Each structure stands twice: as C-alpha cells, then as structure tokens.
Structure 1
Amino acid sequence: MWNAEDEGVLTLPSGRLIRGRGLRRSSATGDPQFGLYLLGSAPPDPGWPYTWLRWPDFRLPADKEAAAAAFADALRRAGDERVEVACGGGRGRTGTALACIAILDGVPAGEAVAFVRRHYHPHAVETPWQKRYVARFSSRP
C-alpha cells in the first residue's frame, strides 16, 4: 500500500489510498502495481498492469462509459494494490479522475472537486468543463 503522507497520495473516505501523479515528473515513492493513464495517445508500456483512457489534455475522456468503468476498477484495486492515476501534468485530467473516484467512494458530487483540491492538489480539475463533468458524474453512463 502507499504511505498516506507520500506526495500525491489521496486518502479516500473508505481509507483506500490512491496516488495521483504527473507523468512528466519521476516518482520518489516507488512503482504502482496498477496504473490508470489519461493521455491523448497510448503510453509506452510502464512494466506493470495498466489501463489507458484516451483523454486529450484540457479535455474530457473520449469514452465516458469506459472512463466510468476504469474509475470503478481503480477504486476496487486500491483496496489491496498500489494504484496510481496519472496524466502529463497530474492536475487537470488526474484531478478530474480522482474526483470521480472519490464520488464512487462516497463523496457527494457537489463536494468532490473541493475534496480533491483539499486533499490532493489545490489546482486539481483545471477547466470549467472538467468541473461540470465531475458535478454530473455517475457510475452509470
């Protein structure tokens, strides 16, 4: 499991830990056991199991159903695996995904952006449409 005090590690209401990260920076806290990568094009194989969601920078996921399923899988895996969610910079797309995962873990949709900004990064969820996506997020398409 991650250490709750490590950089980028978000503690969800259930106590599960999930790490957010910008892929442009290396990690000092070790490798995950599973990664959810939010990028406009497929990442190189990181050497551990992962899911790639096509998600261009400053936009929304190309496939919202696949995104909801990937968020649920990341939350489930975080119960006993070191899971990271990452995009290029680690704020907009990563923050949006973490906010949706927090909703799945019990944070009310209207509070999810503030929760992630308070507990992960103050600039998480960068655009108005990312905020709207979180506010309207449901595990069902």
Structure 2
Amino acid sequence: MLLAPGPVPAWPHRRIRWPDFWVPVDRADAVDALTEALRRAHGGERVEVACRGGTGRTGTALAALAILDGLPPERAVDWVRATYRPRAVETPWQRRWLRRLT
C-alpha cells in the first residue's frame, strides 16, 4: 500500500491519495485498501505500508490496521509509537481520523 507519489513497484500494489501531514483524500477508498491489506496479512501474505518519510501517513495507516484488527482506537496511536516509531501519527487531524475510523 503506497501513501505517497513515487515510483511504481514491480509487485502488486495499491496507491492511496493521502497528502503529507493530512488524512486520506477518499475515506472509503482508504478504508477499503486498509481492509484489503489486513485480509492479505491474515492470509499469510506480506504487506508493505509506505509513504515518503515513514512517520505520519505510515504510522496512521498502521494504527488504522490495528483498529480494524480490533485494537480500541484510543490505544492505537500509543501502540504504534511503542512498536513502530515514537513519533508516528504526527498531527491532531490524523489522530481524529483514527478515532472516527470505526
């Protein structure tokens, strides 16, 4: 799952329109892509989540995956910061988007 413009990888991928420091442009498309990524991961496939810097958008997407997998939204940011990157999920609107995900 690609969250920023850039080169096209050789493997199957899905790009989400997600401006830096913001939230996805199309909520339904983002949730669909995240749900597909979670389904693939549960099926044993490797899933990559990538943006340009790997902090805000990637952290938000990882927190969203955790929420979709059953983690309460109020714990998702702390979990991503503890297990992935301490500054993941950079902006208040990214945190708000996560709270409204379910």
TM range (shorter): over 0.9
Structure-1-length-normalised TM-score: 0.69
Unaligned runs of 5+ in 1: 1-35
CA distance in 2, matches of 1:92, 1:45: 21
- The CA distance in 2 between the partners of 1:121 and 1:59, in whole Å, is 18
Larger radius of gyration: 1
The one-letter amino acid paired with 2:91 is T
How far apart are residue 45 of structure 1 and its match? 1.8
| Matched residue count | 101
Q: What root-mean-square deviation, in Å, do the aligned CA atoms of Structure 1 and Structure 2 show?
A: 0.9
**Could you say which structure has the higher helix fraction?**
2
Residue 37 of structure 1 is matched in structure 2 by 2
Render the CA deviation track for 1:86-131: whole Å, top value 9, x for unaligned: 1000010000011010001110011111111111111100001001
Query: How far apart, in 2, do the equivalents of 1:66 and 1:107 lie?
Result: 21
CA distance in 1, matches of 2:94, 2:17: 15
Percentage of pairs with the same residue: 56
Whichever structure has more strand as a proportion of its residues is: 1
Equivalences for residues 1-141 of structure 1 within 5 A: 36-39=1-4, 41=5, 43-79=6-42, 80-138=44-102
Segments of structure 2 that go 5 or more residues without pairing to the other structure are none
